[in-house]
Structure 1
Amino acid sequence: MKKFLYLFAILLIASPVLTAQTRYTVTELKTELSIIRAALKESHAGAYRYTDSLTLEKEFAVLESKLTAPLTGHEFYKLVNPVLALIRDGHTKFHISGKPDDLFGFSKSGYFPLALYWIGSKAFVRANPYHIPAGAELTAINAKPVGQIKTQIFSNMLVDGYEESMKYAYINENFPGYYGAFVGTFSSFEITFRFKGKTTKKTIRGTQAASFSKSSVQKRPYVVDYTVPGTAIIKISAFQPGHAGLGFEDFLEKTFQTITKAKIAKIILDLRDNEGGIDAYGIKLYARLTDKPFSYYDRFTVAGPPDYSFSKYATIPTELQYLRPFIKKVGKEYHFMQKDGLGEQSPAKLNFTGTLVILTNGRSFSVTSEFASIARDNNRAIFIGEPTGGAAEGNTSGTFIFLHLPYTKLDLAIPVLGYHMKLSHLKSTGKGVMPDHLIIPSITDVLHGRDRALEKALSIR
């Protein structure tokens, strides 16, 4: 009886936030599902990289069988998203039209208000306005253990392969958004937390989506610090064009001139939170860090010729038609034959062969993972931190097709170029580039701003 009363109280306290949303007919939803299936099959270069076509089609068939009653756009989104996650591709994006990476678009209010930091299946409070001690361990939300909540959210995350480091990066950055999108929005939440051996229950109010607006402040994409004698700490936060007129190649030339002139013995290359950018920049960076010829990409693949049955529902880059002559059938694959990075690459004339330490974490993705994979395969660096979020063997990215579903107004971004790295020592597929020294920040590190990965890098001679 006590359990029943407790659960009944939870239902009263944690009432869902209901917003008026259009419901779409079964016919409309099945039409959209068929468009998604066709688009993935015909254009996604990595749709079957980790999950074979038969398995994926079975999952879509099960999904279609669940479409027996009208649904809102959000309900349809929550049904489709876990199947898309089975593709295991971090560049594929499913979202409200015009709102990529925005998990707050389905409701204006009712979001979980606490900033959390996750380690394994444990969640810790980082900061909040409810006088809950920073560092307290959150054990349940609305009577549901946080470990179960994490599993539910993780099953909806679109990331490369089987690597979870990016999932942790995402949930640590935006737990309220993921909870709202895949668990629910509520006017209030009953939480259970533990601090210094004492367990406490507390009711907290849900908050507005607007309170999670992102800062528009742009960081410089690359900087270098020479304050530690004999060491250059290079931070590259994005492989993107430069800041204040300094392009990436200009930055590399200037930096390595200084490194050579100052007789720098060690470079600490900080690639944490670098989610990628221009793939050629990864090649140019590695060319500065070796004096030997090297391989980079093994091949590029596409799903097939750009003849799409779904084209009236999509924005398709015009350049795809111009690239048609460079698509060639090789065995069971379609290869794209005209792109930089194939074949032997030459080192830069001004290069560095001293000690190289590379820092990575779960947000080291795409171009960053490609670069890290080549550095690892050539045993060029000591890696410290967390596994990269991007898979070591490559990814699916490049040019994108944007699918616009006609009824729910959801969009699906589909990457059309498969990148496959030229590797000789790949130990497993679907995993990130592994560090030599695994350092996952503790909640104490996070609260006090301690960077143990950088400390370890500085200690290496």
Structure 2
Amino acid sequence: MKKTAYFSLLFVAISNIIFAQSIDDTFSQKKMRKDLEVFKNIRLKANSGLYKYRSEAQIDSIYLWAEKEIDKSSTYLDFYNIICQLTDFEGSLHNDTGLPERYVKNLKRESYGYFPYPIKWIDGKWIINYENNEIPLGSEIIEINGVPISEVVLNLYKYYTTDGQNITGKRIGIRTHFSRYYRFNYGQEEKFQVSFKKHTSNLEEKKTIKSVGYSEYYKRFNNRYSKAFDQIYYVDLKADEKYKYEKIDSLTGVLTVYTFSMGNETTEEHQTYLAFLDSIFSKIKTENIKHLIVDIRQNGGGTDPNDLVTYSYLTQRNFQENKQAWISFKKVPYLKYTYTKIPRFLRPLGVGKYNKMFQEDFYLAKGNRFYQGPLSDDHKIREPNKNAFTGNSYLLISPAVASAGSLFAAMVSGNENTRVIGEETMGGYYGHNGHTPLGYILPKSKIETFFSVVNLEQDVPKKGNQIYNRGIIPDYEVSQNYEDYINQKDTQMDFVLDLIKSKATE
């Protein structure tokens, strides 16, 4: 028994040594070039969003950059960073590139090398978002290891994708994963020399602080100063926590929808949401509410048709989910690289139902594009609900708004009776790539890459303040200021309530 136990322990120890893989390990340029070729071919064949925000010349240029970058690269991390840059350059928030699980497990075991404190974007500055004895809470970061924080952050943008050339949404990723992204781009550091300014001080100070491990950073993030204010974005909400309505006064109400992840027509959760909307908007109509605040600042998307049903209570026009939608293939290409547990020789059978679905829905061939037909539910003309709100609506948005959340926000912001308050969303106004995700695994590195294949043009009017390659631009740009950050106050909600009061006195 003892010999067996010793042998088992020895086997586990040897296995950990052999199979534990670090992103800093060497990785041959030959393998990099093979995977780059596969990655590019998959994008060209399967990704309808490849040229949504970039010209062919721009895409060709960045792949030439990638090829030259490989000439200077020697590690797995070098190659991962190249693929992240390519993934981000396309401009789709549904793009994602990730490490294989064995590399992720090794990262989680790292005991040093990570910047020790969460940071947050407040008043146009990156500040320390953690109470500690080294750098005071709220201090503005000027430099880390001699590199201006603006340059540091710019180099980290590639790890968090957004629609078009939006950058406000990237701050969501950086406030969460700053330390991990820094480690990806700059490697592990024993210490960090930080230049900073305390709030209200013009004196630049410097302090050298020790790094922490992966787990310790995330422990500190989970105890960040702003947690009481922004934790709702990170919570796995229960069904009865995903939306609410509150009456502020006799003329004003607030509808908050944290997510559209409430199932589809076949689920009980969706039916419960429909009943909630019907009850609330009947009440709003009966009580003659004049001002309705619609708060979707934490809404990162969800499932159709929850977004569309909600919009039917906020519009006076007939509408459809999108004006057009298309994909760039008739059959799912490069099956041998697809992200699936189905053995390679069985994949043509397993993918059959998806190909059938694509061919039934996207049957109008125009060149190399396959468009949705007019009978698709996405093109169905929908009518306003009989209890649709007709007063003044105020839409609260933030950089966290994405996917179905940004589709909904774009449609509401196109209404004549709506004013939009907050910060630019990470999801686009005019369209996005969404609905159906595909995943692939690169053969040599096993890097995992995902993207959504349906190129959508949303049913929204053209507006002078909305830019094609950006998120939804608010009519009133309002973000949390420093004093409200310290006091955990809602700057944007206070602004909209003041706006309603000012309208009442006009």
Task: Answer yes or no: same fold by TM over 0.5.
Answer: yes
8 A Cα contact 1:297 1:343, kept in partner: no
Change (3 A) 1:125 1:93: same
Q: Tell me the residue number matched to 2:385.
A: 348
**Alpha-carbon deviation of 1:121?**
6.4
**Alpha-carbon deviation of 1:293?**
2.0
Q: Identity, % of aligned pairs?
A: 20
**Alpha-carbon deviation of 1:24?**
2.6
Report which of the two has the higher share of helix.
2
Change (3 A) 1:54 1:457: same
Q: Tell me the residue number matched to 2:497.
A: 458
Aligned counterparts, 1:56-75, within 5 A: 56-68=59-71, 71-75=74-78
Q: Tell me the residue number matched to 2:236.
A: 218
**Alpha-carbon deviation of 1:44?**
1.2
Question: In 1, distance between residues paired with 2:181 and 2:187?
Answer: 9
Q: Tell me the residue number matched to 2:251.
A: 230
Change (3 A) 1:113 1:334: same
Q: Tell me the residue number matched to 1:420.
A: 457
Q: Tell me the residue number matched to 2:334.
A: 309
8 A Cα contact 1:93 1:101, kept in partner: no
Aligned counterparts, 1:314-393, within 5 A: 314-315=339-340, 319-323=353-357, 324-327=359-362, 328-330=364-366, 333-337=369-373, 339-393=376-430
8 A Cα contact 1:274 1:363, kept in partner: yes
1:205 equivalenced with 2:241 (yes/no): no
The superposition leaves residues 229-288 of structure 1 with CA deviations (integer Å, 9 ceiling, x where unpaired) of 432211111101179957332221232233233332221111102111113222111101
8 A Cα contact 1:23 1:70, kept in partner: no
Q: Tell me the residue number matched to 2:281.
A: 256
Question: In 1, distance between residues paired with 2:418 and 2:459?
Answer: 17
Cα RMSD over matched residues?
2.9
Q: Tell me the residue number matched to 1:15.
A: none
Q: Tell me the residue number matched to 2:306.
A: 281
8 A Cα contact 1:95 1:101, kept in partner: no
Aligned counterparts, 1:39-78, within 5 A: 39-68=42-71, 71-78=74-81
Q: Tell me the residue number matched to 1:150.
A: 153
Q: Which runs of 5+ in 2 are unaligned?
A: 1-20, 223-233, 341-346
Change (3 A) 1:77 1:447: same
Amino acid across the alignment from 2:87? L
Question: In 2, distance between residues paired with 1:256 and 1:455?
Answer: 24
**Alpha-carbon deviation of 1:173?**
3.1
8 A Cα contact 1:112 1:185, kept in partner: no
Change (3 A) 1:403 1:396: same
8 A Cα contact 2:478 2:491, kept in partner: yes
The superposition leaves residues 148-204 of structure 1 with CA deviations (integer Å, 9 ceiling, x where unpaired) of 112212255421112222122222333223222223321211111112233221111
Change (3 A) 1:386 1:394: same
Residue 169 of structure 2 aligns to a residue whose secondary structure is helix
Residue 314 of structure 1 aligns to a residue whose secondary structure is coil
Question: In 2, distance between residues paired with 1:20 and 1:148?
Answer: 23
Amino acid across the alignment from 1:148? E
8 A Cα contact 1:293 1:344, kept in partner: yes
8 A Cα contact 2:243 2:257, kept in partner: yes
Change (3 A) 1:184 1:321: same
Amino acid across the alignment from 2:284? I
Question: In 2, distance between residues paired with 1:343 and 1:240?
Answer: 21
1:431 equivalenced with 2:449 (yes/no): no
Question: In 2, distance between residues paired with 1:101 and 1:397?
Answer: 27
Q: Tell me the residue number matched to 2:194.
A: 191
**Alpha-carbon deviation of 1:100?**
12
**Alpha-carbon deviation of 1:412?**
0.2
Match 2:260 to one of 236, 239, 258: 239
8 A Cα contact 2:395 2:412, kept in partner: no
Residue 412 of structure 1 aligns to a residue whose secondary structure is strand
TM-score, reference length from structure 1: 0.88
Change (3 A) 1:332 1:377: farther
Question: In 2, distance between residues paired with 1:378 and 1:305?
Answer: 37
Question: In 1, distance between residues paired with 2:190 and 2:304?
Answer: 44
Q: Tell me the residue number matched to 2:99.
A: 96
Residue 90 of structure 1 aligns to a residue whose secondary structure is coil
Shifted more, 316-325 versus 186-195: the winner is: 316-325
Amino acid across the alignment from 1:193? F
Question: In 1, distance between residues paired with 2:408 and 2:309?
Answer: 10
Amino acid across the alignment from 2:457? H
Amino acid across the alignment from 1:335? Y
How many residues are paired up? 444
8 A Cα contact 2:123 2:479, kept in partner: no
Shifted more, 183-192 versus 251-260: the winner is: 251-260
Question: In 2, distance between residues paired with 1:289 and 1:176?
Answer: 41
Question: In 2, distance between residues paired with 1:288 and 1:103?
Answer: 49
Question: In 2, distance between residues paired with 1:198 and 1:223?
Answer: 46
Question: In 1, distance between residues paired with 2:268 and 2:214?
Answer: 34
Question: In 2, distance between residues paired with 1:228 and 1:403?
Answer: 52
Amino acid across the alignment from 2:478? I
Report which of the two has the higher share of strand.
1
Question: In 2, distance between residues paired with 1:201 and 1:174?
Answer: 23
Residue 264 of structure 1 aligns to a residue whose secondary structure is coil
Amino acid across the alignment from 1:452? T
Shifted more, 35-44 versus 372-381: the winner is: 372-381
